[in-house]
Amino acid sequence: MNQIRLQTLSLIPIVTIVFFYLIYLFKWEPIIVGVFREILLLPSNLTQLLMTAYFIINLIKKQINFSFLILINIIFSVLISISFII
């Protein structure tokens, strides 16, 4: 798969996590959102962390160039990791 396309696809878990966080923040939780949150949140978190690990490994091997999407991905993964710790 093309690296640019993969970087763009890596935004899908970020958008999913942010969507459910905003719903939680505004305390708006219909039943259907609760069902989808349980189904989508864990795979989104795991996908986000795995894609970040993939990007970091490829950055170290110099197979891909550093870009804005990779920076967003790394920052978001750090924030997810901090939220698990706290």
Residue 1 has pLDDT above 80, yes or no: no
Residue 85 has pLDDT above 70, yes or no: yes
What pLDDT, in 10s, does the model give residues 54-83? 989 988 998 888 888 889 999 999 998 898
Q: Is residue 76 a contact partner of residue 47, using CB atoms and an 8 Å limit? A: no
Say if residue 77 is exposed, middle or buried (CB neighbours under 10 Å; 0-12, 13-18, 19+): buried
pTM of the predicted structure, to 2 decimals: 0.79
Domain that holds residue 45: 3-85
| DSSP alpha helix (H) spans, 1-86 | 3-9, 11-25, 31-60, 68-85
Number of domains into which the chain is organized: 1
Residue 20's closest CA among 33, 30, 9? 33
What pLDDT, in 10s, does the model give residues 11-37? 899 999 999 888 888 888 788 888 888
How far apart (Å, rounded) are the C-alpha atoms in residues 11 and 2? 15
